[in-house]
Amino acid sequence: MMSSLNHASQYYTSMATVPNLAKEWADRGQYTTWTSTVPENARFGPLDVFTICAGNIDNPAILFIHGYPTSSFDFRELFEELSQDYYVCAIDTPGYGFSSKPRDGYVYSIHDDARLVDHVVREVLKLDKFALFTHDKGDTVGFALLALYQKYSECPYQITHHFITNGNVYLPLAQLTQLQIQLLDPVSGPALSSNLNGTILAQALATLTHSKTLSSDEIASLASIFDYQDGANVQHDVIQYLNQRSQFEVGWLETLHKSDVPTTIIWGEQDQISPIRVPDYVWTTYLKSRNHVSTYWRLPQANHYLQNDAPRVVASIVNSELRSANDLNLRNEEAYRVF
């Protein structure tokens, strides 16, 4: 059930200088509640989960799942590009964005996030069918959701297409930053997290993970979202998803291999954290030879946040794949398919 109380909008009312992009995103969203399925989290009770949708609800739907350490805000440009033709929705998973950011022993879980997405699709958004678009940590949540989807004897919804974008979907080939390694560590991670703030994280992302120069409002907006409920200080807790990724990733990739959902990889080639050898391996090992539709696009001009670096190109690929048409009109330097 959606809540009429928008905590995110209230957050910005007391700011002397309001970052416009983040405030606009907050104002457009709504809240629902979610109680974790992880037994260790029972004492925390219901959490507030931020959701946002745009476009005509009668149009084909696309559901976006964000990555680490950011939020649904990553998809604001794709929302603008795609909302004329699609009903686009996104969720901030717990610990991220404008959703609750519990601490003091809360166990952040990929499997729990997948159950949350399944719940929101069925009970909140009430989507009968949708395309799934995931990024970074969201790729992992998407794989866990795909596993749930395959277990249904009669699934209440249909995933019409599965888009996978830059993320460490095979950790042995990833190249984590020193900050990620330190945050993940049980000794250095808690102390480092306690000294972080939104500005530090936003500036690091602007420097390392984008090929375009972010505007001052974009950086301030990112910083303000990190600072919502002091979210910078839970980074040690939320980055533990990488340990879950390592533990379950082969099974999740095998789930991808046996999936009958048409699947498209779209990857920014300039990414140094999730370098191109990662999708190359997944494409060659799990997708290229399967019996269902699979495609692989590479964007030479884009970094880790390809949806911000090249939103029109990404939207054009999404349109082309969903329409199964040969109407894509991109210059060679913007994107090319791998065969």
Model pLDDT for residues 286-310, shown as the tens digit of each residue: 999 999 999 999 999 999 999 999 9
337 is a domain residue: no
pLDDT at 261: 97
> What is the C-alpha end-to-end distance of the chain, expressed in Å?
44
Q: Residue 102: is its pLDDT beyond 70?
A: yes
As beta bridge partners, residue 130 has: 159
Q: What is the percent of the chain with per-residue pLDDT over 90, rounded to a whole number?
A: 90
CATH number of the domain encompassing residue 150: 3.40.50.1820
Q: Residue 332: is its pLDDT beyond 60?
A: no
Average model confidence (pLDDT) across the chain: 94
pLDDT at 335: 72
Q: Residue 328: is its pLDDT beyond 70?
A: no
Average pLDDT value for residue range 153-174: 96
Half-sphere exposure of 135 (CA within 13 A, CB side): 28
pLDDT tens readout for residues 200-239: 999 999 999 999 999 999 999 999 999 999 999 999 999 9
Coil vs helix vs strand at 330: coil
- Which residue, 322, 264, 282, is CA-closest to 81? 322
- Decide if 285 contacts 256 (C-beta within 8 A): no
179 is a domain residue: yes
- Which residue, 55, 46, 80, 52, is CA-closest to 66? 52
63 is a domain residue: yes
Q: Residue 324: is its pLDDT beyond 80?
A: no
pLDDT at 325: 47
2 is a domain residue: no
- Decide if 123 contacts 33 (C-beta within 8 A): no
312 is a domain residue: yes
Contacts of 76 (CB under 8 A, 6+ apart): 21, 25
DSSP 8-state code for residue 214: P
221 is a domain residue: yes
d(CA 161, CA 323): 11
- Tell me phi and psi for residue 308, to 5 degrees: -95, -35
Contacts of 154 (CB under 8 A, 6+ apart): none
d(CA 112, CA 38): 7
- Interhelix angle 241-258/110-119, nearest 10 degrees: 60
Sheet holding 2-3, edge to edge: 2-3, 30-34, 47-54, 87-91, 61-65, 129-135, 158-165, 263-268, 294-299, 336-337
pLDDT at 7: 87
- Decide if 59 contacts 135 (C-beta within 8 A): no
* Amino acid at site 238: V
Half-sphere exposure of 313 (CA within 13 A, CB side): 23
Helix residue ranges per DSSP H, the chain: 7-13, 20-28, 76-82, 110-119, 137-151, 178-184, 188-194, 198-208, 216-227, 235-238, 241-258, 277-282, 306-309, 311-323
Residues in the chain: 339
How many separate domains does the chain show?
A: 1
1 is a domain residue: no
Higher pLDDT, residue 162 or 9: 162
d(CA 261, CA 326): 20
335 is a domain residue: no
Is residue 172 reached through a cis peptide bond, with omega within 30 degrees of 0 on the bond before it? Answer: no
**Domain containing residue 47:** 7-325
